[in-house]
Amino acid sequence: MSINISPGVYSKIIDLSTFVQVVPATIGFIAGLTRKGRDNQLVFVGSRSEFMTEWGEPNINDYTKNYGQGPYIAYNHLGESGSLYWMRCLPDDATYSNLKISARLEAEDSTASISITYVDSINNTADLKTALAPGQVQKPLCILYPIGRGDYYNGLGVRFTQHSNPTLNGIYVLDIYERQSEGTDAIIESFEVSFDPYATDVSGDSIFISYVLSTYSSVLRAEMQESDGDYTSGYDLVIRTYDKDAGSVTIILEGYDDIRGVAFPTLRDTKQDFSDWETETETGNANYLIIAKDGKGIEIWGWLGGAIGEENDEIVVFKERNLSVSDRGWNGDVSSFSSSNITYEIKKARANIATPFVSAIPKPLKKGSEGSLRAATGVIDPTTAESLLEQAYSGLLTGADGNYVDSILDTDLVYFSIVYDAGYPSDVKTAISTLCNTRRDCIAIIDNGDNSTFELASSKRTAVHTFNNYYVSIYEPFNKVSDIFSGNDIWVSPVYHLSYLLPRNDNIAEIWFAAAGFNRGAIESIKELRFNPKLGQRDQMYLKQLNPICKFSAGYVVWGQLTSQAKASAMQDLNIVRLVLYAKKAIEQYCRNFIFEQNDPITWGQVAGAITDFLEVIKNRRGLDNFSIDVGATEYEKKTKTFHVNVTLQPTRVVEKIELNFYIK
């Protein structure tokens, strides 16, 4: 302890205002299949528009009823809650659409030519970098690829146009096109970019193409680094600048050497030493060229010969790369070039990246595919689709970096409270149940499959979907609704409706209220049920923990909210499980603040007081009938650096039966 002994006032600030902070109640998670968007990544989505901008509108025909309902569930959930984790799933052999830009410099060339090629079977980021390995003749500069894999992105196209301001070096306008439904290409994004990693705009912000696209583009990315992390050989050839104006620059456009009787055009920089870039013998091919601009942006250029002057601050310029056959002199508009405000760059070659893009028709991206998810005929492969979804919910999908996408198992960094099924096969439902039982902080909303009769539904629950835990809640039956995106009627899982009823319940009521019954479980969009269970059938469904959607004279309504737990207890009720998990998450987060605090009654009292205040609020809002808190440590617990927090909850139960008695006297 620090003790001050000289006179003075010494202050400390001690925060006694800590409290148990509430946590979000309705964050969903769903894995699904879409034609576009980032794939094999866990992505947080905040709105319907954000979802549809990247992953597109839901379309049941893309992946059929069994695998195509995921986007509908996501759309419904986001309509009531702006909090959803989404994962688009693709197999490892799915490929990126791409377009590779390369530079080529022949021995007799005076400049570099730019070409466009496409790379087969780019499955991940490692393949992207491998595709940028230098060739003997072609020097890769950059590879463009979309944010996700799949053949959808073969409909993208790009055009580079040299910037209209002639004083700007190496800056291009990149237009990104997307093929429209009527077959035309429309610009969807446009950026000013450079292939120089150090290029900036007037505000000082980077305009390096990789940075610009990763920061601002919703569809396209660019890679310019090889596997070892170095920039590409194409960058070294046509983009990298070895020096710029460092001092007072003068240019001799057409000089004359009286001794040798030859033209002697040079560039002089008073602060430069050109010996690093000269071609000493002035025979054979030059290694570097110099590009100079005046204040109006007029450009001249030439290949570098020998450095001259006592300080090597002047260098001879040749018209062609092969100095042994070249005349000394400058290329370009020499007659209009002004000697004022001169700047220059030294490079290995001169090139205009926009050259292959002069056509008004954009250059398309190619080679994208969904791999084994679709057969050669374009039909979805159900075995692959089922395996992908099962892996997604198990944390076993492989991401673009080759690692498992297992962040859904990380309860410290990723939190969601509801995991949705979407009419998926039984093995996927099992993976969903396992996920919730592993995390122990979320509940699963699943269906019992598409059953045409009560008998089939009962048999499916008994023989196939034998879940018996309070983390899973099962609903029946499938039903017909109008698809607002296609205008057609489609059959959907009952989860389709729970995906908006649960977050709506939390918005208009509380998380510990039941999302069932006419007040919070009424459904207006159903046109037809596969079957409508009668009273006796509903009794049997209750015993099997199946929650039906029923049609009464007043309309369609969710008529159950049981979990799949067979043992009779309060945890058979979904609203109570949600209450308990909510309180558990909030109190866990609060108690973490006391790790490494003193294990004494003062700490225990702080914890007990804050938890009591938190639970009292829930009680006042009809979530609890009563509760009790015990915080402390036995002598043994003190020795093991532990204290206990015993929270006893008495949740408020819902009404399931009303006994209406008439007494006649």
Written as one string, the DSSP assignment of 37-88 is S-BSS-EEE--HHHHHHHH-S--HHHHHHHHS-HHHHHHHHHHH-S-EEEEE
Write out pLDDT tens, residues 95-140. 999 999 999 986 666 678 999 999 999 999 999 999 999 888 899 9
- Domain check: are 339 and 421 in the same one? no
- The stretches of 395-543 forming alpha helices (DSSP H) are 426-439, 454-463, 495-508, 517-520, 535-543
Looking at residue 282, its pLDDT comes to 76
Q: Do residues 318 and 288 lie in contact, with contact meaning Cβ atoms separated by under 8 Å?
A: no
What DSSP assignment string belongs to 107-172?
TT-SS-EEEEE--S---SHHHHHHTTS--SSEEEEEEEEESS-SGGGGGEEEEEEE-S-TTSSSEE
559 in any annotated domain:
yes
SS3 559: coil
Q: Do residues 535 and 447 lie in contact, with contact meaning Cβ atoms separated by under 8 Å?
A: no
- Domain check: are 428 and 292 in the same one? no
Asked if residue 240 has pLDDT above 80, the reply is: yes
SS3 578: helix
- Domain check: are 229 and 260 in the same one? no
Write out pLDDT tens, residues 48-70. 999 999 999 999 999 999 999 99
- Domain check: are 547 and 626 in the same one? no
297 in any annotated domain:
yes
- Domain check: are 189 and 317 in the same one? no
Write out pLDDT tens, residues 282-303. 778 898 999 999 888 899 999 9
In whole angstroms, what separates CA 586 from the centre of its chain?
27
Looking at residue 259, its pLDDT comes to 53
Looking at residue 391, its pLDDT comes to 98
Contacts of 486 (CB under 8 A, 6+ apart): 59, 60, 61
Q: Which two tokens stand for residue 572?
A: 């058979």
What are the CA-CA distances from residue 337 to residues 5, 19, 256, 347, 397 (Å)? 77, 72, 19, 20, 60
The amino acid at 166: P
Angle, vertex CA 557, rays to CA 427 and CA 578, nearest 5 = 60
Write out pLDDT tens, residues 155-171. 999 999 998 887 788 89
Q: What H or E segment, with its residue span, contains residue 390?
A: helix 382-394
Q: Do residues 316 and 354 lie in contact, with contact meaning Cβ atoms separated by under 8 Å?
A: no
CA gap 584, 435 in Å, rounded: 18
Domain end marker among 329, 364, 399 = 364
Looking at residue 257, its pLDDT comes to 60
CA gap 45, 56 in Å, rounded: 13
Looking at residue 264, its pLDDT comes to 81
650 in any annotated domain:
yes
Containing domain of residue 563, as a range? 28-90+388-575
Q: Predicted confidence band at 424 (pLDDT cuts at 50, 70, 90)?
A: very high
- Domain check: are 225 and 306 in the same one? no
SS3 318: strand
Q: Taking residues 494-515, report their average pLDDT.
A: 96
- Domain check: are 61 and 112 in the same one? no
In 3D, which of 580, 574, 577 has the Cα closest to residue 648?
A: 580
Q: Do residues 148 and 37 lie in contact, with contact meaning Cβ atoms separated by under 8 Å?
A: yes
Asked if residue 244 has pLDDT above 80, the reply is: no
- Domain check: are 67 and 172 in the same one? no
369 in any annotated domain:
no
638 in any annotated domain:
yes
Peptide bond into 477 cis (omega under 30): yes
Asked if residue 261 has pLDDT above 60, the reply is: no
Sign of the CA dihedral with 423 first, then 427, 432, and 436 last: positive
450 in any annotated domain:
yes
Q: Which two tokens stand for residue 657?
A: 């039966």
Mean pLDDT, the chain, whole residue set: 93
Residue 117 phi/psi, 5-degree rounding, is: -135, 175
Q: Predicted confidence band at 576 (pLDDT cuts at 50, 70, 90)?
A: very high
Q: Taking residues 415-433, report their average pLDDT.
A: 97
Looking at residue 16, its pLDDT comes to 74
- Domain check: are 553 and 429 in the same one? yes
- Domain check: are 420 and 535 in the same one? yes
- Domain check: are 359 and 434 in the same one? no
In whole angstroms, what separates CA 388 from the centre of its chain?
18
- Domain check: are 223 and 260 in the same one? no
CB atoms within 10 A of CB 317: 28
Angle, vertex CA 331, rays to CA 328 and CA 333, nearest 5 = 130
CATH code where residue 416 lies: 3.40.50.11780
Total domain count, the chain:
4
The amino acid at 174: L
2 in any annotated domain:
no
425 in any annotated domain:
yes
CA gap 654, 560 in Å, rounded: 11
Q: Which two tokens stand for residue 192?
A: 């000013």
